[in-house]
Amino acid sequence: MPAPAKDTVTLSPAPTAAAADLVDIRTLVPDIAQDIKYAGHDNFVGSPVDGYLAPKCLLKRPVAEALARVEHALRATHQRLKLWDCYRPARAVAHFVRWAHDLSDQHTKAAHYPRLDKSVLLGDYIAPVSGHSRGGTADLTMEQCDDHGSRCKELDMGTPFDFFDVRAHTDAPDVTPAQHANRLRLRAAMKREGFKNYPLEWWHYTWASEPTPHVIYDVPVK
């Protein structure tokens, strides 16, 4: 979970999503697929995360507009995006850090970090300041749909979301050629609208022209 150095960011006093110019992607694409992991129990913490009061994808307005363009372009070939996380409140990141310090809580190890000791997650995989809190980053995958665009299935990317392992690196050598090709298809689709991939997480994309690159927010997702 990449982040800028702590001394390069400031916390916005914005009290609401509207004040932060964060918009719900579904105001632009009402039927975009999403499974907002941190609003429920299916995540590496194993419970709803602080700040997620609703399963919504919020993004800075121009970022949301760029993501909507990616979605509309994909639909021409019966493909779609599926969103797992977008804007992430600063309080959610603090929740992650508290969880990482609790080495007695290992109940998500098999699903999320089977080959790592939990003690190494903080710093290498969980940062105290997240780029998601700027509203310019999304975690997502791609789906292939039938000719009617109604029945869609996630492409096989080789690992699940938030899998803390070298196999989650976008160009990891130990995934199959088909899985790597799917990652490249996603990367190409996102790149066309100015999104850059974080090489250690195939699902992580940041808009290169994000509006507030040195400001993080803590308004709840609701």
Question: What residues are labeled active site?
Answer: 201
DSSP strands (E only) in 107-183: 137-145, 152-154
Alpha-helical segments (H) within 51-135: 61-75, 90-101, 109-112, 121-124
Range 116-142 burial, b when 16+ CB lie within 10 A, else e: eebeebeeebbbebbbbbbbbbbbbbb
Distances (CA, A) of 189 to 8, 70, 85, 104: 30, 7, 18, 41
Amino acid at 193: E
Residue 116: both structure tokens together: 């790592």
